[in-house]
Chains A and B, each alone.
Chain A
Amino acid sequence: MQQCDFAVIGGGLVGSAIAYGLASQGHQVSILDEGDVAYRASRGNFGLVWVQGKGQEIPRYSQWSMRSASKWSALSQELFELTGVATQHHNPGGVHLCYSEAELASREVDLDALSQATDRQFSFKMLNHSQLHDLIPEIGESVTGASWSSWDGHANPLYLLRALHAGIRCHGGRFLAVGKVKEIRRNGESYVIESNHQTITADRVILAAGLGNRELAPQVGLDAPLIPNRGEILVTERMRPLLNLPTTYLRQTGEGSILMGDSHEDVGFNDGTETPVLAQIAKRAVRALPALANTRVVRSWGALRVMTPDGYPLYQASESHPGAFIACCHSGVTLAAAHAKCLAPWFAGAEAPSEITPFTAERFHVQTSIPA
């Protein structure tokens, strides 16, 4: 039987960032990963390190995203020095494209409210067509303008995951391909985790299994009302540099491919792709950058986002099961630095970061409580 201080269930971006944070602080960590064909949201990620527009309803989320964005460069550098893997993180600012004056105006109102709610920590600029054209010479005529924020950037989520895995190993952490975790039970002060291939005991257990948390959370007195939400992404052949900053649904990767897509589909556990959706994504991309019309799509994929009922994360310590925690969200790239540098210390005994207090499951229970 394997024994460790921390068992992190889930080797995706959320679990890996946390495990990296813990391992780099000297804790003994094992990541329990399902394997090659898990519903891996981290492999279907678009790769934005993004702040603008997030947290409209809960400004603390905007602050949490900013906390992470501000730590991203340092994390990326640290991982590169440790593992030799570059995450391709760039922070040139990012734009959200608008297609009418009305859309631009309403975008400005929303972002301004967000800026106010964060005591102007979040900042942005509105760009008209010609200002946008200066940033992106290939921009289509039908794009009226955009909002721009210096907070935004992008990275390669696949290399981030690889760097985190390598980093965990450098710090003595273990990566265990255990298959599906079946059961977590308490045994005295520690936890026994039964999986398809192995049994592991750990002092603390962190649920970071994405959609898999639904079944695991109740076993440690937690609740994870998560729903899959499918996003489909198209990727083109490698192109010479043409888009030097990310937009909300188009970005050029370090290799030169253009990534596009922002579909939100409620299709249960179906992570396939559908032609009409792919065609719609293609159409939107060509509308934004008409010169892309002759560019070839070489791959597409669908991936399931991990969504709570309100779309915000879930971070919680179990009251009934001390030492058991849950962490899930759909912004594993943006929040990677906060997860590694702020959340991991909390799991190891430090104060909880102030930004995350609203993100317990209790917020979903308000409606269901019956007055006496």
Chain B
Amino acid sequence: MITHDLVILGTGPAGMAAATTALEYGITPVVIDEQPAAGGQIYRALESTPVRDRRILGEDYWSGESLIKGLKDPQIDYRPATTVWQLTRQREIGLLHDDKAEMICARHIILATGAMERPMPIPGWTLPGVMTAGSGQILLKSAGAVPQAPVVLAGCGPLLLLLATQYLRAGVEIAAILDTTPRNRYRAALKHTPGALRNASTLLKGVGLLRELRRAGVRHIKGVSALRAEGSGQLERVLWKQQGDDNWQTLETPTLLLHQGVIPNTQITRAVDCHHEWDEQQLSWRPRLDEWLSTDIPGIAVAGDGGGIVGAKAAAMQGQLAGLGAALALDKLTLANSTERAQPIRKALARDTAIRPFLDVLYRPAKQWRLPDDDTLACRCEEVTGGEIRRMAEMGCRGPNQTKSFTRCGMGPCQGRMCGITVSELLADANQQSVEETGYYRLRPPFKPITLGQLAKAAEEG
């Protein structure tokens, strides 16, 4: 098995920044990414997008160009279209590329595997035609594809508004934005405005997006308190209720894009059994990290949204920090030197993330978007409803592992990615205990499906 100094997983802003920073200090990293092109989800398809009018995707998107250029340095061993199916505490990494599995080893690892969208388990969310806002944006960036018929966007969070304006600029007809931000949230978020003002440019951008939508006359329905998707075999209509109104309202549409913010993708940090904690502010799990973004497992660090949601800019800064951390761990820098170099980065990071409490409070998803009702699927793969999870709590299941074994919830092909957080929260709620106490699925390899033949070969060559 070949041992490398530094292996970085992921080529979003954090991974790319970590790679170029490490290179500055004489480390030649291996950079692994599942996608065929660099950029992560935020700068996805930046080099190949058919969307030529730069105005549509906006300058924030195109600002990823310099990071991607940095990653293309010939000294960086960049391996696109490569899946990671295994990582051990001894820092052995199982890779899969072109149907061939291999194992490599690393002295230091930076996980920059980013975020995923928070599941939004509403009735009908498995119907074809219901997708996520993120998927809508990926289709736009990578294929120049947009909804054919007037689309309904539902939920809350910056990505939802960004996608709406991108659609608007691209001439896509938006039937409605169903905004689930509870009405009292604006006031609650106000007290975090002083912090948010430290990152005024982001705040202003958000205000700008809202103004752009309003000027265009997009139907923006606020205070949506209930939502369902209906149709026979595929989506035909969306129904919703507004706070203070008991009547269902309806829109016919073949496309509904849901969004309820993003959460760290902890699949790998969980599988390697890093210590995780429940972040009550962001309502999500994240690995516990030290000042160099290292986990409690020696030689494994996490940069970017995978360690708690910070956004693209801050993710790149964390990538730089983790790169410095790698230089320190690999004896390329002394502690004094790395600390000194880290200082301006930490300062900029603090300024950029000062807006987080404001956003976290404003867009904190209300309970009904996190806890599916009894008839709604929590686990899409094994088709387990919220009611079944609650029944397991009644039967004495205190945590998701016993629940998983009794219901198959989390045993399907997505390996619990789509239901994990929902099940933890459902059980915590039903058992009236904290999410921290309730815990999370115990995950194990493979992180991505690997064939028996590939697995058998991997060991031979290892």
Interface positions of A (Cβ within 8 A of B): 11, 33, 35-37, 40, 43, 158-159, 161-162, 165-166, 169, 175-177, 234, 236-237, 255, 272-276, 278-280, 282-283, 285-286, 292-302
- Nearest Cβ distance between residue B234 and chain A, in whole angstroms? 23
Asked if B405 and A158 make an inter-chain contact with CB atoms under 8 angstroms apart, the answer reads: yes
Q: B413 contacts the other chain (Cβ, under 8 Å)?
A: yes
Known: A37-B399, A162-B395. 9 other contacts (CB 8 A): A36-B438, A175-B396, A234-B452, A273-B445, A276-B459, A279-B460, A286-B453, A294-B451, A301-B444
* Minimal beta-carbon separation of A14 from chain B (angstroms): 16
A11 to B462 Cα, complex, angstroms: 40
Contact across chains for A282 and B396 when beta carbons are under 8 A apart: no
Which residue on A lies nearest to B460, using beta carbons? A279
Top 4 nearest A-B pairs (CB, nearest first) are A36-B399, A279-B459, A293-B453, A296-B449
For the complex, is B82 an interface residue (Cβ under 8 Å from A)?
no
Question: B247 CB to closest chain A CB, in angstroms?
Answer: 38
Shortest Cβ distance from B408 into A: residue: A255
For residue A292, which residue of chain B has the nearest CB?
Answer: B452
Give bound CA distance, A229 to B445, whole Å: 20
Q: How far is the CA of A272 from the CA of B442 in the complex (A)?
A: 10
The answer on a CB contact under 8 Å between A35 and B446 is no
Asked whether A236 lies within 8 Å of B442 as measured between CB atoms, the reply is no
Residues of A within 8 Å of B453, CB to CB, are: 282, 286, 293-294
CB neighbors of A among B78-98 (8 A): 86, 88, 92, 94
Query: Is B449 within 8 A of A293, CB to CB?
Result: no
Chain B positions near chain A (C-beta within 8 angstroms): 86, 88, 92, 94, 103, 273, 395-402, 405-406, 408, 411-413, 415, 438-439, 442, 444-446, 449-453, 455-460, 462
CA distance A33 to B405 in the complex (A): 15
User: Are B405 and A161 within 8 A (Cβ)?
Assistant: yes
**Inter-chain contact B451/A298, CB cutoff 8 Å:** no
Question: How far is A129 from B400 in the complex, measured between Cα atoms in Å?
Answer: 44
- Distance (whole angstroms) from the CB of A220 to the closest CB of chain B: 25
Q: How far is the CB of A241 from chain B (nearest CB, A)?
A: 18
Question: Within the assembled complex, what's the spacing in Å between the Cα atoms of A45 and B398?
Answer: 21
- Does B445 contact A169, Cβ atoms closer than 8 Å? no
Q: Which residues of B contact A35 (CB under 8 A)?
A: 398-399
Write the nearest CB–CB distance from A198 to chain B, whole angstroms.
Answer: 13
In the complex, A285 Cα to B458 Cα: how many Å? 15
Give A354 to B388 CA distance when docked, in angstroms.
Answer: 42
Given contacts A43-B405, A237-B413, A296-B451, contact A33 B396 (CB under 8 A): yes
Asked whether A295 lies within 8 Å of B452 as measured between CB atoms, the reply is yes
Please tell me if the beta carbons of B456 and A296 are within 8 angstroms of each other in the complex: no
A273 to B446, CA, bound (A): 10
Q: Chain B residues near A37 (CB, 8 Å)?
A: 399, 401, 439, 442
Please state if A177 and B444 are interface contacts (CB–CB under 8 Å): no
Q: Kindly list chain B residues whose C-beta atoms are within 8 Å of the C-beta of A255.
A: 408
Do A272 and B444 touch (CB < 8 A)? yes
Question: Beyond A37-B442, A177-B396, A237-B413, is A298–B405 a contact (Cβ under 8 Å)?
Answer: no
Q: Is the CB of A273 within 8 A of B444?
A: yes
Q: Which of B402, B406, B438, B449 has the most CB of A within 10 A?
A: B402
Q: Which residue of B lies closest to A274 (CB)?
A: B88
The answer to whether B458 and A279 touch across the interface, beta carbons within 8 angstroms, is yes
Interface contact B395-A165, CB-CB below 8 Å: yes
Of the residues B411, B412, B452, contact of A293 by C-beta under 8 Å: B452
CA distance A161 to B444 in the complex (A): 22
> Which A residue's beta carbon lies closest to that of B455?
A282
In Å, the complex CA distance between A302 and B444 comes to 9
Instruction: List chain A residues, Cβ under 8 A from B395.
Output: 162, 165-166, 169, 175
- The reply to whether B451 and A36 contact each other, CB–CB distance below 8 Å, is no
| Min C-beta distance of A364 to chain B, whole Å | 32
Shortest C-beta distance, A268 to chain B (Å), equals: 15
Which residues does chain B contribute within 8 Å of A295, judged by CB atoms?
A: 451-452
A275 touches B86 (CB 8 A): yes
A165 close to B396 (CB less than 8 A): yes
Task: Check A275 against B401 for contact (C-beta < 8 Å).
Answer: no
- C-alpha gap A275/B87 in the complex (Å): 10
By a CB distance below 8 angstroms, the chain B residues around A293 are: 451-453, 456
**A177 and chain B: residue at smallest CB distance:** B398
> What are the residues of chain A within 8 A of B442 when measuring CB–CB?
37
B442 CB, min distance to chain A CBs, angstroms? 7
Contact across chains for A283 and B449 when beta carbons are under 8 A apart? no
Contacts of B462 in A (CB 8 A): 275-276, 279
- In the bound assembly, the distance between CA atoms of A120 and B458 in angstroms comes to 46
> In the complex, which residue of chain A has the Cβ closest to the Cβ of B99?
A294
Docked complex Cα distance between A36 and B403 (Å): 9
Contacts of B399 in A (CB 8 A): 35-37
Q: Which residues of B contact A161 (CB under 8 A)?
A: 405-406
Beta-carbon contact of A36 and B402 below 8 Å = yes
Contacts A295-B451, A299-B415; A275 near B406 (Cβ below 8 A): no
With both chains docked as a complex, state the minimum distance between the C-beta of A209 and any C-beta of chain B, in angstroms: 16
On whether the beta carbons of A297 and B455 are closer than 8 Å, the reply is yes
Contact of A275 among B94, B402, B438 (CB under 8 A): B94
- The answer for the CA separation of A315 and B358 in the assembled complex, in Å, is 61
- Closest residue of B by beta carbon distance from A296: B449
| Bound CA span A11–B399, Å | 14
Task: Name the residue on B nearest A34 (C-beta).
Answer: B398
Q: Would you give 23 A-B contacts (Cβ < 8 Å), ordered by A?
A: A11-B396, A36-B398, A36-B400, A36-B402, A37-B399, A165-B395, A165-B406, A176-B396, A177-B396, A177-B398, A234-B452, A236-B452, A237-B413, A276-B459, A278-B459, A282-B453, A283-B456, A292-B452, A293-B453, A295-B451, A297-B449, A299-B411, A300-B446
Give the residue of A175, A272, A278 whose beta carbon is less than 8 angstroms from that of B455. A278
A286 and B446 within 8 A (CB)? no
Would you call B452 and A300 a contact (CB within 8 A)? no
**Closest CB in chain B relative to A128 CB, distance in Å:** 26
Residue of A nearest to B450 (CB): A297
| Given A175-B396, A275-B88, A275-B103: A297 touches B406 (CB 8 Å cut-off) | no
Chain A residues with Cβ below 8 Å from B88 are 274-275
Q: Cβ of B445 and Cβ of A300 under 8 Å apart?
A: yes
Chain A residues with CB under 8 Å of B401's CB are 36-37, 40, 43
